[in-house]
Amino acid sequence: MRMIWQGLAVSLLMGTGAQAGALSDAIFAPGAFGATDPGQVTRYDHERSGPEGPGFRPVAQGALVITPELAEGKPQLVLTHEDAGRTAPVAAFAASAGDPVLLYFLENTVRSMAALTGGSPFYIRNRVRDALVQAETAVGEGPVVAEVKPFSEDPNREKMGAFADLVLRFELTPGAAVPLSLLSADTTAAGGAYRETLTLEGS
pTM (predicted TM-score) = 0.89
The burial class, CB within 10 Å (0-12 / 13-18 / 19+), for 83 is: middle
Nearest in space to 44 (alpha carbons), one of 24, 64, 62, 26? 64
- What is the Cα Rg of the chain in Å? 16
Strands 195-200, 167-172: pairing is unpaired
* pLDDT tens column, 29-84: 888 899 999 889 999 999 999 998 888 999 999 999 999 999 888 899 999 999 98
Query: 33 near 95, Cβ under 8 Å?
Result: yes
